[in-house]
Amino acid sequence: MNLINSAKLSILNLSVNKVRTLLTTSGIIIGIASVIVVMSAGEGIKSLILGQLDTFGTDIIETEIKVPNTAKNKTQSQQESGIAMVQGVQVTTLKLKDMEDINKLPNIKGSYSGILGQEATSYQGKLKKVFLYGVTASYDEIDRGEIAEGRFFSESEDKGLAQVVVLGSELKQDLFGESDVLGKEIKIKKKNFQVVGVMKKRGSIAFFNFDDLAYVPVRTLQKKILGVEHLVHIISQFENKYQAEYTAEQIRRLVRENHDITDPDKDDFVVTTMAEAMEVLATVTGAITLLLLALVGVSLIVGGVGIMNVMYVAVTERTREIGLRKTVGANYADVMRQFVIESVLLTIIGGIIGILLGIFISFLLYRFAITHGMPSWRFIITLKSIIIALGFSAFFGIFFGVMPARRAARLDPIQALRT
């Protein structure tokens, strides 16, 4: 029997035994689809994390306050600044002068600095506790945030302690709804602030909602609202990324000198480049990928065992058929060829359906992610995942389709016929 006839016969067989065909392919479909979904989700999570990094920009160095190491906590992690803020431990040494000095460094294009506060804010009786982000006017140039209407405040307004405010898109919506805001006055800590601009919608980044912020000049916030002189962080943009680490070291020396620190162990600040942050995230995504791979492994095993069982049962059921075929003249090779072709066909059909299903589910996942606060989730189907999925199903489908058939095809025809 030639190959074309064998293929025709196999198609006939598969269509005749629809339930069996369906059962066998479902194992392959589930296995393949789960591989594709899991690997696509992995890419999605990666893109989510990288996308979040990208919204900050990758050409920046951050200088952030940190509780200095003492003899007691010396062994603890270096990255305690965030915790220090939350716990209310005040580090008040980071000043605008530090930013001005950093700006003089050769590889620095510019910087902005900021401090956070939270105050009762109202407009026409609507009261809301609002996060205030005091920043220098240079925020507008360096940060990726964009103005939707009006303008950002200027350097002279900052220096003149002007009471002006730029609203995040959600905050604007909360206080004003659809009505005009530019030029209106809102009250922050009972002081009048004029709205000069509204920011574009940006979404949450690392659980920090930019759209809910009120941006005010940093000096105004320091002097008129909080009554402090320090900053929380300074964000600096560099020119040449190959010198980023060197520049970061220059910043460390400079700030140390400004803060009269001789022992780097006693630093009350920490300088990080995005490259370092990227490295940390690469480790995190690496761990996530590893976890996902483990999941893929499990789904492969489950799918594989499923395929194996169905194939095995199918062949056992078909031993009589094999006996009959041998009785009317099929030889070992004929029977094997039929099973190989059937398995290959099943694998191809199951493979195609599985890939389509996997892509479809991955797409649903993507839709869900972007509509649920993860806008930078990307819909990625890698060739690698398709190759792994197909390789797997080809292996299991054909191996487990052919192995039990071998046993049956070796029987004497009458033995097979009698089962």
Q: Which residues bind other proteins (CB under 8 A)?
A: 1, 5, 9, 12, 16-17, 320-321, 324-332, 334, 412-414, 417
User: Cβ(10)–Cβ(334) under 8 Å?
Assistant: no
C-alpha pair distances (Å), 111 with each of 99, 259, 336: 7, 19, 73
- What is the closest distance, in whole angstroms, from the C-beta atom of residue 415 to other proteins in the complex? 8
Q: Specify the amino acid at residue 48.
A: L
List the helix and strand counts (H, then E) for the chain.
14, 12
Q: Which is nearer to other proteins, 4 or 206 (CB)?
A: 4
Specify burial of residue 310 (Cβ count, 10 A radius: 0-12, 13-18, 19+): buried
- What is the closest distance, in whole angstroms, from the C-beta atom of residue 331 to other proteins in the complex? 4
Q: Which is nearer to other proteins, 10 or 25 (CB)?
A: 10
Q: Which is nearer to other proteins, 20 or 95 (CB)?
A: 20
CA dihedral 399, 405, 411, 413 (to 10 degrees): -160
Q: Which is nearer to other proteins, 86 or 328 (CB)?
A: 328
Q: Which is nearer to other proteins, 287 or 414 (CB)?
A: 414
Q: Which is nearer to other proteins, 15 or 77 (CB)?
A: 15
- What is the closest distance, in whole angstroms, from the C-beta atom of residue 296 to other proteins in the complex? 37
DSSP state of 68: P
Q: Which is nearer to other proteins, 12 or 294 (CB)?
A: 12
- What is the closest distance, in whole angstroms, from the C-beta atom of residue 406 to other proteins in the complex? 14
- What is the closest distance, in whole angstroms, from the C-beta atom of residue 317 to other proteins in the complex? 11
User: Which residues, including other chains, have CB under 8 Å from residue 306's CB and lie 6 or more apart?
Assistant: 26, 27, 30, 31
- What is the closest distance, in whole angstroms, from the C-beta atom of residue 345 to other proteins in the complex? 17
Give the whole-angstrom CA distance, residue 83 versus residue 93.
Answer: 17
Give the whole-angstrom CA distance, residue 125 versus residue 134.
Answer: 24
First to last CA, the chain: 26
- What is the closest distance, in whole angstroms, from the C-beta atom of residue 333 to other proteins in the complex? 8
User: Which residues, including other chains, have CB under 8 Å from residue 234's CB and lie 6 or more apart?
Assistant: 62, 63, 64, 94, 98, 99, 102, 111, 112, 113
